[in-house]
Amino acid sequence: MASKMQTISPASLKSLPERVEYATAFLDFGPTDIAFLHAAAPLVKPLIPTVVDLVYVKLLSFDITAKAFVPKQTGFHGELSADRKVTDVNAGDEQIKFRKTFLVKYLAKLVEMDYTKESWEYLDKVAVMHTGVAGFAHREGKPSLRVELIHISLLLSYVVDILLETVIKHPDLDNDTKAGVLRALNKVVWIQNDLFARHYVVDEDSKIVPARLASKCSHALVKEKLLPAAAIIAFLGLLGFLKVASRG
């Protein structure tokens, strides 16, 4: 017997809790997945620094992703050259070491969190902070961090690829645990990817526009509407002036 069809309002997906509820229901992400992540945490966490090293080797192998690490990062108090170039950024860079600590903490959270309301809010803030808006309080008033969605999606995919190999080859995990952990991680990363997308992409179905884009669109709309109107008014004003002048 077919299960009852659920009704999802496109407009409801603007709400983080409702969006997460839909995503987790669609992917069947629940207590079993969370239990697998928690069970694997003691074995996976010690491997995270190695995973992060591999991630940064990849990020620094392309100038388009490495350029994000040229400016001084929020919270980094070390010295950087005033004429620093993208070719100066390398794995031994003190700022890169500083950035790695954040990715280590993030990946550890993926296998530690209880995936409550606060957990999803954290993952959403991780997304927001890459759009140029301060996602966390410590970034308020600091230089903006903007990373385009293509690089984020590719990075998440690369992280999953590394974790797949790491978990599959782990000698202390049985096959059922490996399958459970990988399925859970895959679901979490795809939900994270959607949380990034909600702040970058216009949803044509619901007409939801990310806040950052909304302000730009409004500005563009004002220009589009007002500039032609101003031109028409100026033209009519000129005609009026010419009429008056001709009578004189």
DSSP state, 49? Answer: H
**pLDDT of 242:** 46
**pLDDT of 177:** 93
pLDDT surpasses 90 at 46: yes
For residue 210, give the nearest of 149, 144, 165 by alpha carbon: 149
Q: What is the pLDDT of residues 131-182, one digit of tens each?
A: 876 544 554 555 567 789 999 999 999 999 999 999 999 998 999 999 999 9
What confidence category does residue 225 fall into, taking pLDDT thresholds of 50, 70 and 90? very low
DSSP state, 201? Answer: S
CA torsion through residues 202, 205, 207, 210, sign: negative
What confidence category does residue 121 fall into, taking pLDDT thresholds of 50, 70 and 90? very high
| pTM, full prediction | 0.77
**Mean predicted confidence (pLDDT) in 201-213:** 73
pLDDT surpasses 50 at 91: yes
Task: Report the percentage of the chain scoring pLDDT > 70.
Answer: 78
Task: Report the percentage of the chain scoring pLDDT > 90.
Answer: 55
CA torsion through residues 49, 43, 190, 21, sign: negative
240 or 126: which leads in pLDDT: 126
CA 76 vs. chain centroid, Å, equals 21
What mean pLDDT is reported for the chain? 82
pLDDT surpasses 60 at 198: yes
φ, ψ for residue 208 (rounded to 5)?
A: -80, 125
DSSP secondary structure string for all residues of 101-146 = HHHHHHHHHHHH----HHHHHHHHHHHHTTBTS--SGGGTTSPP-B
CA 29 vs. chain centroid, Å, equals 20
17 or 87: which leads in pLDDT: 17
